[in-house]
């Protein structure tokens, strides 16, 4: 049995009824819904699905139908960069032996999403290393033919980005007061790959949250090369960190050496979720 994950991100983080309906749609075709992380500031929800090869592509199609019905990109969508109602739909392989199955599942999913009317653009290894950030740059999709689906984008639904990839850890660090947005942006520029103190495979943005909180929001693409404690140390060289937040799930090994003095909201591992099989109730 080849178990894969899918981590669809939807541009809706504020309407509990919509989030619950989209989650139910993802789980309606046989895939297991392991986790739901909804964030009002980012206006984004991250769903984690598990299924055998052949189960995740129809799950992504079903969830996309509900997302298209519930999300209108013409209204403000929060602080997180995005291109679509169903913004990204990566299929995740937990080890190298499942890479081929994940690639096949992602291509089937992209075809199904394109058939719904969503221009589907591949990224990562399926697209020669093309990145999400490249596709999200203003105007990047204008005149760029999608890999699947129509050339024209519905302004309500936008496009979708599809990949097959290893686990990625979405991890946010909230700076201690009185750090401001400009400090978060400066630190993000320093620690992201390509920055002066760049960490390999780390994408980072400085974001302002409600209540005057500044956050360094990151994606860690290789947690073996950059354990989360290494990211924490890099940020703490420039500002105090009051708390961390895990978005979705992370492999247990990502937290090796994590210090006791920094709490992590929503800390939950892939291994625990697969064993439990039940989603948490934070989006209900």
Q: What is the pLDDT of residues 1-50, one digit of tens each?
A: 689 999 999 999 999 999 999 999 999 999 999 999 999 988 999 999 99
Mean pLDDT (the chain, rounded):
93
For residue 279, pLDDT beyond 60 = no
Determine which of 183-187, 235-239, 273-277 has the lowest per-residue pLDDT on average. 273-277
What is the per-residue pLDDT for 210? 77
For each of the domains in the chain, give its residue range(s) and CATH number, in order of start: 3-165 (3.30.990.10), 169-276 (3.30.70.670)
For residue 277, pLDDT beyond 70 = no
Q: Is 283 helix (H, G, I), strand (E, B) or coil?
A: coil
Q: At what angle do helices 99-115 and 56-70 cross, to 10 degrees?
A: 40
Query: What is the H or E stretch that residue 190 is in?
Result: helix 181-191
What is the per-residue pLDDT for 79? 72
Arithmetic mean of pLDDT, 38-66: 95
Phi (first) and psi of residue 201, to 5 degrees = 75, 15
Please confirm whether the linkage preceding 178 is cis (ω < 30° from 0): yes
Determine which of 119-128, 141-150, 275-284 has the lowest per-residue pLDDT on average. 275-284
- Partners of 110 in the beta sheet? none
Helices and strands counted in the chain (H then E):
7, 12
Sequence-separated (6 or more) residues with CB below 8 Å from residue 111: 120, 148
8 burial level (CB within 10 Å; 0-12, 13-18, 19+): buried
Q: pLDDT class for 225, splitting at 50, 70, 90? A: very high
Q: Are strands 3-6 and 44-52 parallel, antiparallel or unpaired?
A: antiparallel
pTM of the model: 0.88
Give pLDDT tens digits for 168-199. Answer: 999 999 999 877 899 999 999 999 999 999 99
């Amino acid at each position: 049995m080849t178990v894969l994950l899918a981590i669809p991100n939807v541009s809706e983080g504020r309407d509990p009824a919509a989030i619950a309906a989209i989650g139910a749609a993802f789980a309606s075709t046989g895939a297991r819904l392991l986790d739901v992380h909804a964030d009002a500031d980012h206006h984004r929800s991250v769903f984690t699905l598990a299924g055998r090869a052949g189960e995740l592509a129809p799950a992504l199609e079903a969830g996309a139908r509900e997302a298209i019905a519930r999300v209108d990109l013409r209204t403000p969508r929060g602080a997180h960069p995005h291109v679509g109602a169903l913004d990204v739909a990566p299929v995740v392989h937990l080890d190298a032996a499942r890479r081929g199955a994940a690639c096949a599942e992602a291509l089937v999913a992209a075809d199904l999403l394109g058939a719904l009317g969503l221009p589907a653009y591949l990224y990562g290894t399926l697209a020669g290393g093309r990145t999400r950030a490249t596709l999200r740059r203003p105007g990047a999709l204008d005149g760029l033919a999608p890999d699947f689906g129509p050339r024209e984008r519905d302004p309500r639904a936008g496009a979708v980005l599809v990949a097959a990839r290893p686990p990625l850890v979405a991890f946010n660090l909230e700076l201690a007061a009185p750090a401001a947005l400009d400090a978060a942006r400066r630190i993000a520029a320093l620690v992201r790959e390509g920055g002066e103190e760049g960490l390999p495979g780390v994408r980072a943005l400085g974001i302002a949250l409600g209540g005057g909180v500044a956050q360094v929001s990151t994606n860690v693409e290789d947690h073996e090369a950059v354990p989360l404690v290494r990211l924490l140390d890099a940020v703490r060289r420039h500002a105090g960190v009051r708390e961390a937040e895990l978005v979705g799930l992370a492999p247990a090994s990502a937290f090796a050496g994590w210090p006791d003095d920094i709490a992590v909201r929503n800390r939950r591992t892939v291994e625990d979720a697969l064993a439990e099989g039940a989603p948490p109730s934070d989006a209900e």
